[in-house]
Amino acid sequence: MSFSLFSKRLLLQAEPEYRRLFIAGLVNGIGDRFSQVAMLALILSTTGSGVAVGLALGLRVFPFLLLAPLGGILTLYFSRRTIMVVTNILRTPLALSYLLVHSADDLWILYTASTLLACAEAVYAPVRKSGIPLLVQSDNLHKMNGLEQVMNGSVLIVGAFLGGLVSSIMGPQAAFATNAIAFLIAAALIRKISFPPISTDRSDGMMERPPAKKEAVVTHVLWQLIISSVPLQIIVAFELWVPVLNGIDNVLISVYAIEVFKLGDWGVGLFYASLGIGLVLSSWGSRYLQHWLLPGVVACLLIEGCLLMLLSETRYAAIAALIYILLAFMSGIGNACLDTLLMRETPERYRGLIYGLVTACSSSMLGFSMFGTGMLLEVTEPRRLGFAGGLGFAVIALLLAAYAWIRARDVFTKR
């Protein structure tokens, strides 16, 4: 493991531009976790309402449906650095507005600020993700996507733990102020990044067309990209289907900890820490699939489904924590393969648009799924619902594998 960490350090040193983006993402993520933990604690302490918590979480998801594609479109007209710096600066006063919340009557400020912060993140996320291939050597792309999972895992472990600690000792206001400072630090780091100019393919004639026709041209180009690439078709299907079920395990992690295993709040922290550990470890495992990206996506999804079914049957909290580590491990590997595949299959110019659409699809589906899961839990036993979600993952993986096999056979037959 020490050798793996050393190699990651060398990799970041070899890619100085991406290193700044990585650190900015780490700072942003930890600050957001600080704020989220403090926000949920503040809502519960002032209202005691689970519905109020659900509303706050829902407001963080649904803006992605409309605004994530906008982030991709903006990359056609503005530099990624400008977009990311501006969105971070705009989020600073919004994060500070949480300091004005002192009672239940002030929660409208929190809900409004939370929605606007989510709007900014919806624009920011696809711009950041689509910019990674511009900053790293192509041979290192898959390794960098593995590092992205390390970043997500570190944020999950450090951000949630320290956020809860800061909020409990110094009060939620300290966590909110930390989040605002994190946005400024991230903006300063991103401002130093030098993105190379994107090669412009004028064969589509988009820039010469009237503004009213540009949207139609973009839609046509994206459609042509998708229908000409089996991997892109599978990615789109993945992002449409998987989040529909992913909301189940997102909601059940707290239900399992508190209601099923009777561990209380510390059990929620234990299971989330397990997910973080799995994501950090996934960077080590993903390197073995860098030449098997599409099979890796499908295989990891199938194993995740089997693990979720196993989780629904286990009676021991320690085994559940271990399963969560394995789940995040497979999820991290699959995500690294998926991101690398998407980056390689999409031309530079339209990468932001594709990521915007993918983010909009997955985030909106996830939001509806979490809402639906909450309703299903009123009439369905958690373990049964968890087993159904795992079975759904396995079925989707088998369907995607069958589709890829049929298309590959058709190509071979035509030859």
Secondary structure (H, E, C), the chain: CHHHHHHHHHHHHHCHHHHHHHHHHHHHHHHHHHHHHHHHHHHHHHHCCHHHHHHHHHHCCCCHHHHHHHHHHHCCCCCHHHHHHHHHHHHHHHHHHHHHCCCHHHHHHHHHHHHHHHHHHHHHHHHHHHHHHHHCCHHHHHHHHHHHHHHHHHHHHHHHHHHHHHHHHHCHHHHHHHHHHHHHHHHHHHHCCCCCCCCCCHHHCCCCCCHHHHHHHHHHHHHHHHHCCHHHHHHHHHHHHHHHHHHHHHHHHHHHHHHHCCCCHHHHHHHHHHHHHHHHHHHHHHHHHCCCHHHHHHHHHHHHHHHHHHHHHCCCHHHHHHHHHHHHHHHHHHHHHHHHHHHHHCCHHHHHHHHHHHHHHHHHHHHHHHHHHHHHCCCCCHHHHHHHHHHHHHHHHHHHHHHHHHHHHHHHHHC
Q: Do 184 and 230 share a domain, yes or no?
A: no
Mean pLDDT of 231-245: 89
In a domain, 308, yes or no: yes
pLDDT averaged over every residue in the chain: 83
Q: What percent of the chain has pLDDT over 70?
A: 86
In a domain, 141, yes or no: yes
In a domain, 225, yes or no: yes
**Backbone angles phi and psi of 127, in degrees to 5:** -65, -45
CATH number of the domain within which 345 lies: 1.20.1250.20
Q: Do 157 and 50 share a domain, yes or no?
A: yes
Q: Do 260 and 187 share a domain, yes or no?
A: no
What is residue 216's predicted lDDT score, i.e. its pLDDT? Answer: 64
Does the pLDDT of residue 218 top 70, yes or no?
no
In a domain, 390, yes or no: yes
Q: Do 250 and 361 share a domain, yes or no?
A: yes
How many residues are given for the chain? 415
Q: Do 184 and 238 share a domain, yes or no?
A: no
Of 198 and 300, more confident = 300
Give the whole-angstrom CA distance, residue 212 versus residue 201.
20
Q: Using 50, 70 and 90 to split pLDDT, how confident is the model at 22?
A: very high
Residue-range definition of the domain harbouring residue 161: 15-194
What is residue 162's predicted lDDT score, i.e. its pLDDT? Answer: 73
What is residue 49's predicted lDDT score, i.e. its pLDDT? Answer: 62
Q: Do 273 and 369 share a domain, yes or no?
A: yes
In a domain, 10, yes or no: no
In a domain, 356, yes or no: yes
How far is residue 219 CA from its own chain's centroid?
25
The pTM assigned to this predicted structure is: 0.78
Does the pLDDT of residue 210 top 50, yes or no?
no
Give the whole-angstrom CA distance, residue 132 versus residue 216.
27
Q: Using 50, 70 and 90 to split pLDDT, how confident is the model at 143?
A: confident
**Tens of pLDDT, residues 249-306:** 888 887 888 788 988 657 777 888 889 899 989 988 887 888 889 999 999 999 999 9
Q: Do 260 and 170 share a domain, yes or no?
A: no
What is residue 415's predicted lDDT score, i.e. its pLDDT? Answer: 56
**Tens of pLDDT, residues 292-342:** 899 999 999 999 999 999 999 999 999 999 999 999 999 999 999 999 998
In a domain, 319, yes or no: yes
**Tens of pLDDT, residues 362-400:** 887 887 887 788 778 878 898 999 999 999 999 999 999
Give the whole-angstrom CA distance, residue 139 versus residue 137.
5
Q: Do 289 and 392 share a domain, yes or no?
A: yes
- The total domain count for the chain is 2
Q: Do 183 and 260 share a domain, yes or no?
A: no
Q: Using 50, 70 and 90 to split pLDDT, how confident is the model at 203?
A: very low
Domain end, chosen from 166, 194, 222, is at 194
Q: Do 23 and 169 share a domain, yes or no?
A: yes
What is residue 206's predicted lDDT score, i.e. its pLDDT? Answer: 46
Q: Do 321 and 359 share a domain, yes or no?
A: yes
Give the whole-angstrom CA distance, residue 61 versus residue 166.
25
In a domain, 170, yes or no: yes
Of 222 and 270, more confident = 270
What is residue 403's predicted lDDT score, i.e. its pLDDT? Answer: 93
| Most confident of the ranges 60-64, 136-140, 408-412 | 136-140
Q: Do 390 and 267 share a domain, yes or no?
A: yes
